[in-house]
Amino acid sequence: MPRRSSRLRLVFLVGLLTLTVLWAVHDIRSRRARTEWQRPVEVAVDVVELGAVNAHAVNALRARFPALEARLAAEYHRYGGRMGRPIVFTIFGPVRVDRPPPPDPDSTLTSLARHAYDQWLWTRAVDRVSELPARHFDSRIYVLAREPRDSARNWVEGSSEQGGRVGVARIDLDTSMVDLAMFVVTHELFHTLGASDKYDAAGRAVIPDGLVEPNRVPLYPQRYAEVMTRNRVTAPGVERPPESLSELGVGLGTAREIGWAGAAKPK
Ligand SMILES: [Zn+2]
């Protein structure tokens, strides 16, 4: 009977819609829960080699994550956090790929949708090879490592979904680049946790949000590079890329965005 079948179809569609809404609510809640800091944020880092990469550098990269956990914990404690390790990394890979993830989309809706789909295909393929169970992690950061080609210009950049779950950090990897890679991974991870960039169109740190110690006297040189900028500010208008993990800092603006700080000032 046509009436009965159309009623069944309606029930089915309403059921499907309800499930979709429930899933979306659950996903939004679980993404928000990451920045409540009631439990550690669990991050999967998947090391992906685009072509052959020096094995020493890859091993050095993998071995550096406990130090990054400790550095991030120290910054979190500066804002009064209580957990021992607020961010825990689990490392996957290295896996070798012959195709990088899709380039950044422009801002049109079709380009964004296309990019989301292409990136999903790419990460799904990489997850399978590296046996990364995507569901178990709050955020996944893919470190796309490439052998350095041109000593004049290193490839260090990233892209992430702000407030999403997936970030990509691209780096020309040799042993001298390992600590800088830790900055890029943290930068992309913090985007997934809701942090915004703290540099201007020219790439310079925004003052004061791009400074870790905006009340330091004298103000410069700053001791730390704010993780959502690109550099450490050493004098007015003068910046330097960070050289070591010990320079990694989290400024108040970023700390507020990821839920480490409320209105109170850090110690
Ligand atoms: Zn950024």
- State the pairing for strand pair 232-235/248-249: unpaired
| Listed residue (52, 48, 47, 46) closest to 149, CA to CA | 52
What is the distance in A from the centroid of ligand 1 to the CA of 228? Answer: 6
Which CATH code for domain 40-194?
A: 3.40.390
Nearest-angstrom CA–CA distance, 205 and 226: 8
pLDDT tens readout for residues 87-131: 999 999 999 998 999 888 888 889 888 988 999 999 999 999 999
User: What pTM value is reported for the model?
Assistant: 0.88
What is the distance in A from the centroid of ligand 1 to the CA of 49? Answer: 22
Count Cα atoms within 13 angstroms, Cβ side, for 244. 2
Residue 5: the pLDDT is 80
What is the distance in A from the centroid of ligand 1 to the CA of 80? Answer: 25
Per-residue confidence band for 86, with pLDDT thresholds at 50, 70 and 90? very high
Name 57's Cβ contacts closer than 8 Å, sequence gap at least 6.
145, 173, 174, 175, 177, 178
pLDDT tens readout for residues 149-203: 866 556 666 777 777 899 999 999 999 999 999 999 999 999 999 999 999 999 9
What is the distance in A from the centroid of ligand 1 to the CA of 54? Answer: 27
**Domain map of the chain by residue range?**
40-194, 195-267
pLDDT tens readout for residues 240-251: 999 999 999 999
| Listed residue (172, 149, 178, 177) closest to 64, CA to CA | 178
Q: How many CB atoms lie within 10 A of CB 200?
A: 12
Q: Is the pLDDT of residue 227 over 80?
A: yes
Average pLDDT over residues 51-74: 96
What is the distance in A from the centroid of ligand 1 to the CA of 6? Answer: 49
Nearest-angstrom CA–CA distance, 88 and 72: 10
